[in-house]
Amino acid sequence: MTAETAPFDPLLLRRAFGNFPTGVTVVTAAPEAGPAGMTVGSFFSVSLDPPLVGLCADKGSGSWAAMAPANAFAVNFLCADQTDLSNRFASKAEDKFDGLDWHPAPTGSPLLPDVIGWVDCVTEQTVDSGDHWIIIGRVTAIEILREADPLVFFRGGYGSFAPVDPSRH
């Protein structure tokens, strides 16, 4: 027997999910057409052994459509003071890398300046799920560049997160 559920109002669902803070990343790739990137809040660890990560991309995303042929990507972890980078890569700008000082990861994917760190990945699997793609990547290189508070997205806006000092509890 199958339980039927009423469809959720997409706006209510979006508002409910907005009450769950997410870290902000910029995912980049270097397909033959040139560097491409997009801001992603749906990034997650999948497995430590083997080292796998995941991200979700809207099927209507022109940025992901441009990036997918590279079969590799880098995930740049943004700091609390990098809302400008998040906004740049969330935009529909034709050249999101214009004037940006970046360098290539081992896969060739662009690594952005002054981020907390990055992971470089080869695409393992792309799963068709609803209105999104779930992209699983195998981590091939990783670097932590600085200790800083991360950029967080919560209730429709940017913020940051500072851990609670464990000695105060």
Of 20, 40, 21, give the one whose Cα is nearest residue 29: 40
Instruction: Please determine, for residue 2, whether its predicted confidence score (pLDDT) is greater than 70.
Output: no
Q: What is the CATH number of domain 24-156?
A: 2.30.110.10
Tell me how far apart the alpha carbons of residues 112 and 115 are, in angstroms, rounded to a whole number: 6
- Quick one: pLDDT at residue 59? 94
The residue assigned the tokens 């990547």 is 137
C-alpha to C-alpha distances, 22 to 40, 44, 122, 155, 160, nearest whole angstrom: 9, 10, 23, 10, 10
Tell me how far apart the alpha carbons of residues 147 and 107 are, in angstroms, rounded to a whole number: 25
The answer to whether 148 and 162 have CB atoms below 8 angstroms apart is no
Give 20-56 pLDDT, tens digit per residue: 778 899 999 999 999 999 999 999 999 999 999 999 9
Tell me how far apart the alpha carbons of residues 26 and 85 are, in angstroms, rounded to a whole number: 8
Q: Which residues contact 156 (CB under 8 A, 6 or more apart)?
A: 18
Instruction: Please determine, for residue 4, whether its predicted confidence score (pLDDT) is greater than 70.
Output: no
Of 167, 139, 110, 147, give the one whose Cα is nearest residue 48: 139
